[in-house]
């Protein structure tokens, strides 16, 4: 049976991952509404990825005899002033997720829950990638600035993302 402290933390993270999915979908809608189909695609794929993360946690909670507790998903921000602001929010969000993942691992270690610690290692590796990608895209947007041609080319590049890459 799962430790109640860890079950609570995992349920919070499950719900936070569902919020992440919703948050990225809101970003996708923002870009779609502003005719940035490539940016919209990238965010939509990101939204799908976050939902998959949530389902990994959902399955794990059941696998270890816990009880999944879904909560209301708060309304995400829906308006930004620019692609730069969107990617600043993206990077900050991924840093916050990393902190939450690390917190779960800290509790798992303290409680000597080796199974959860092992399970969460995948998320730790994933967050290294997520933060690096968000930082790289933020850096590109900062470099491009308001250059329309640069934004057009980056939009086209981001439009090539699929759920496999």
What pLDDT score does 127 carry?
97
Q: How far apart are CA 15 and CA 11, in angstroms?
A: 6
Q: Report yes or no on 100 lying in a domain.
A: yes
We report the CATH number of the domain holding residue 118 as 1.20.1260.10
**Residue 109 forms part of a structural domain:** yes
Residue 163: inside a domain: no
Q: 78 and 26 in contact (C-beta within 8 Å)?
A: yes
pLDDT at 163: 85
The per-residue pLDDT for 147 is: 86
Over residues 113-146, the pLDDT tens digits come to 999 999 999 999 999 999 999 999 999 999 998 8
pLDDT value at position 95?
A: 98
Q: Is residue 132 part of a domain?
A: yes
95 part of a folded domain: yes
Q: Would you state the pLDDT for residue 79? A: 97
Domain-located, residue 165 = no
pLDDT at 44: 98
* Below-70 pLDDT ranges, the chain: 164-165
What residue numbers bound the domain in which 29 lies?
Answer: 4-158
Q: How far apart are CA 41 and CA 48, in angstroms?
A: 11
Look up residue 114 and give its two tokens.
Answer: 């080796």
45 in a structural domain: yes
Domains identified in the chain, total number: 1
pLDDT at 1: 82
**What pLDDT shows up at residue 97?**
98
Burial 152-163 (b: 16+ CB within 10 A, else e): eebbeebeeeee
Q: What is the pLDDT of residue 16?
A: 98
How is residue 81 annotated by DSSP? S
């Amino acid at each position: 049976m799962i430790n109640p402290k860890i079950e609570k933390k995992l349920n919070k993270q499950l719900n936070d991952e569902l919020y992440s999915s919703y948050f990225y979908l809101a970003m996708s809608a923002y870009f779609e509404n502003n005719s940035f189909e490539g940016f919209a695609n990238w965010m939509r794929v990101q939204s799908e990825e976050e939902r998959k993360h949530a389902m990994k946690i959902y399955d794990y909670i059941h696998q270890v005899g816990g009880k999944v507790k879904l909560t209301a998903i708060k309304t995400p921000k829906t308006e930004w002033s620019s692609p730069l602001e969107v990617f600043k929010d993206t990077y900050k969000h991924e840093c916050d997720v990393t902190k939450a993942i690390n917190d779960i691992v800290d509790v798992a270690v303290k409680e000597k829950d080796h199974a959860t610690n092992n399970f969460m290692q995948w998320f730790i590796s994933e967050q290294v990638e997520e933060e690096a990608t968000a930082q790289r895209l933020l850096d590109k947007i900062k470099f491009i600035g308001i250059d329309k041609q640069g934004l057009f080319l980056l939009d086209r590049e981001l439009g090539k993302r699929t759920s496999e890459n």
